[in-house]
């Protein structure tokens, strides 16, 4: 990359412009549009996330203040009225497709970054509620006097990357959203008790998908076989069971596995339910413990990205901003994995925000952010010698 490019420009080069324009055509995003391009809209919304702009006015002003440094981005600073219209009317599906296209690039960087030895793909499934003011977002009804949207997400444990997202109204249940997600056979899905649905468990088992979850306290079952728990692993019981509750045998006729484990820190007894009969009981407990990474991801998303307040009030504008936040998280994880410096996500976001339009080599800065930048006059032009 050219040394004269800003670091923001070098980050944008991680998203190939040709791929972006292909996705614009696929989604018909610029049908009958004039003026503001989809690329300009995307750059502005990415600046909203990485630059922590709180309003359309701040996005416009922040980009206009760097007007001389925008030429290499291929845009001009958009007017806030044009950006507002684009966010409200350009299809948010464009940014969804950009997210999945970028995930393919970032996931290749995360190959081999696994915590467990088994070859199965391990993912976590969970959701988070994003509160909205019902008077301003009347389309996002959640409770009687409260509005919200819900982000349902799948986290890939190879690099802890978001690999699937679904934005719904806040009232949509977790189980209903889980039915819309197709997992590759052999995948291990770890989720909490909010996804306890025997029909869903049977469908996953039939499709060759494994799950690990917490068992509800009132679940009825009969023990088919007792297994010897491993020694010194905090495992109390390892059982093969059959569900016997009302309608349970018809909903899920498969034999499942019930494991009781003790938490080392609190001494609490946890009961896990899974359809994987091959892994060790302590590994099953470790898999569920690693589910906490998706909670940490949601926390980092809300703390570091512009996702709790929005620059538009329509459903399309809200979804556009959420997808650009997820794109930003993928970009930040890529920078983290590419750097030899021990970045925490919060420090990376904070320092990157201060240096978005600094003309430094991005990878050099990531490896040594506190080094003195090279002197541009270190290699002056040689004098022209006349005969």
| pLDDT given at position 342 | 86
| pLDDT given at position 377 | 56
Q: Is pLDDT above 70 for 383? A: no
Residue 110, in any domain of the structure: no
Residue 380, in any domain of the structure: no
Q: Name the pLDDT band for 145 (thresholds 50, 70, 90).
A: confident
| pLDDT given at position 114 | 77
Clarify whether residues 237 and 274 are in a common domain. Answer: yes
Residue 25, in any domain of the structure: yes
Mean pLDDT, the chain, rounded, equals: 89
Q: What is the mean pLDDT of residues 192-210?
A: 95
Clarify whether residues 20 and 61 are in a common domain. Answer: yes
| pLDDT given at position 142 | 84
Q: What is the mean pLDDT of residues 343-369?
A: 90
Q: Name the pLDDT band for 387 (thresholds 50, 70, 90).
A: low
| pLDDT given at position 241 | 94
Q: Is pLDDT above 70 for 72? A: no
Residue 37, in any domain of the structure: yes
Task: Give 255's DSSP letter.
Answer: -
Q: Is pLDDT above 60 for 109? A: yes
| pLDDT given at position 360 | 87
Q: How far apart are CA 24 and CA 180, in angstroms?
A: 25
Beta strands in 33-174, from DSSP E residues, in sequence order:
122-132, 141-143, 146-156, 161-169
Report the share of the chain in percent with pLDDT over 90: 64
| pLDDT given at position 320 | 95
| pLDDT given at position 200 | 96
Residue 41, in any domain of the structure: yes
Q: What is the mean pLDDT of residues 177-182?
A: 93
| pLDDT given at position 319 | 95
Residues β-bridged to residue 256: 241
Beta strands in the chain, from DSSP E residues, in sequence order:
122-132, 141-143, 146-156, 161-169, 188-190, 210-214, 221-227, 235-243, 256-262, 269-274
| pLDDT given at position 140 | 85
Clarify whether residues 72 and 14 are in a common domain. Answer: yes
Min mean pLDDT across 29-33, 38-42, 175-179, 221-225 is at 29-33
Report the share of the chain in percent with pLDDT over 70: 93
270 contacts: CB under 8 Å, gap ≥ 6? 214, 260, 261, 262, 263, 285, 288
Q: Is pLDDT above 50 for 1? A: no
| pLDDT given at position 34 | 78
Residue 251, in any domain of the structure: yes
- What is the phi/psi pair of residue 222, to 5°? -125, 145
Into how many domains does the chain fold? 2
Clarify whether residues 272 and 332 are in a common domain. Answer: no
Q: Which domain holds residue 244?
A: 194-282
Domain boundary among 282, 303, 324: 282
Q: How far apart are CA 78 and CA 35, in angstroms?
A: 9
| pLDDT given at position 349 | 92
**Most trustworthy range by pLDDT among 63-72, 136-145, 176-185:** 176-185
Residue 44, in any domain of the structure: yes
| pLDDT given at position 137 | 86
Burial of 150 (0-12, 13-18, 19+ CB in 10 A): buried
Q: How far apart are CA 180 and CA 135, in angstroms?
A: 30
Q: Name the pLDDT band for 2 (thresholds 50, 70, 90).
A: very low
**Most trustworthy range by pLDDT among 96-105, 223-232, 371-380:** 96-105
Clarify whether residues 277 and 319 are in a common domain. Answer: no
End-to-end CA distance of the chain: 38
Question: pLDDT tens-digit profile of 10-40?
Answer: 899 999 999 999 999 999 998 877 788 899 9
Question: pLDDT tens-digit profile of 250-288?
Answer: 999 999 999 999 988 888 999 999 999 999 999 999 999
Q: What is the mean pLDDT of residues 284-296?
A: 94
32 contacts: CB under 8 Å, gap ≥ 6? none
| pLDDT given at position 277 | 93
Residue 325, in any domain of the structure: yes
Helix (H) or strand (E) holding 96, with range, is helix 93-109
Q: Name the pLDDT band for 141 (thresholds 50, 70, 90).
A: confident
Q: Is pLDDT above 50 for 294? A: yes
């Amino acid at each position: 990359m050219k040394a004269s490019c800003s670091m923001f420009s070098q980050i944008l080069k991680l998203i190939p412009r040709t791929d972006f324009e292909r996705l614009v055509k696929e989604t018909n995003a610029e049908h009958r549009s004039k003026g503001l391009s989809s690329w300009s809209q995307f750059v502005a919304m990415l600046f909203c996330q990485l630059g922590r702009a709180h309003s359309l006015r701040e996005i416009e002003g922040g980009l206009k203040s760097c007007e001389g440094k925008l030429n290499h981005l291929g845009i001009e600073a958009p007017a806030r009225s044009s950006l507002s219209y684009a966010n409200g009317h350009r299809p948010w599906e464009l940014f969804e497709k950009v997210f999945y296209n970028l995930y393919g690039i970032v996931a290749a960087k995360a190959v081999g970054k696994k915590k467990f030895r088994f070859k199965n793909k391990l993912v976590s499934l969970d959701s988070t509620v994003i509160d909205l003011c019902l008077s301003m977002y009347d389309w996002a009804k959640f409770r009687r006097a409260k509005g919200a949207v819900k982000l349902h997400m799948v986290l890939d444990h190879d690099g802890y990357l978001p690999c699937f997202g679904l934005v719904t109204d806040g009232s949509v249940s977790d189980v209903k959203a889980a039915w819309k997600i197709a997992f590759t056979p052999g995948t291990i899905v770890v989720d909490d008790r909010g996804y306890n649905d025997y029909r869903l468990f049977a469908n996953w088992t039939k499709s060759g998908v494994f799950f690990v979850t917490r068992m509800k306290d009132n679940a009825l079952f009969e023990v088919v076989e007792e297994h010897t728990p491993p020694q010194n692993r905090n495992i109390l019981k390892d059982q093969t069971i059959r569900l016997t509750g009302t309608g349970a045998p018809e909903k899920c006729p498969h034999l499942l596995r019930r494991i009781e484990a003790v938490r080392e820190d609190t001494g609490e007894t946890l009961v896990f339910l899974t359809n994987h009969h091959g892994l060790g009981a302590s590994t099953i407990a470790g898999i569920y413990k690693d589910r906490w990474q998706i909670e940490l991801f949601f926390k980092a998303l809300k703390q570091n990205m512009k996702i709790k307040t929005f620059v538009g009030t329509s459903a399309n504008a809200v979804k556009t901003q959420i997808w650009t936040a997820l794109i930003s998280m993928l970009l930040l994880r890529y920078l983290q994995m590419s750097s030899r410096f021990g970045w925490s996500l919060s420090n990376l976001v904070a320092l990157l925000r201060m240096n978005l339009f600094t003309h430094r080599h991005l990878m050099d800065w990531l490896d040594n952010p506190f080094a003195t930048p090279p002197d541009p006059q270190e290699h002056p032009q040689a004098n022209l010698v006349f005969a």
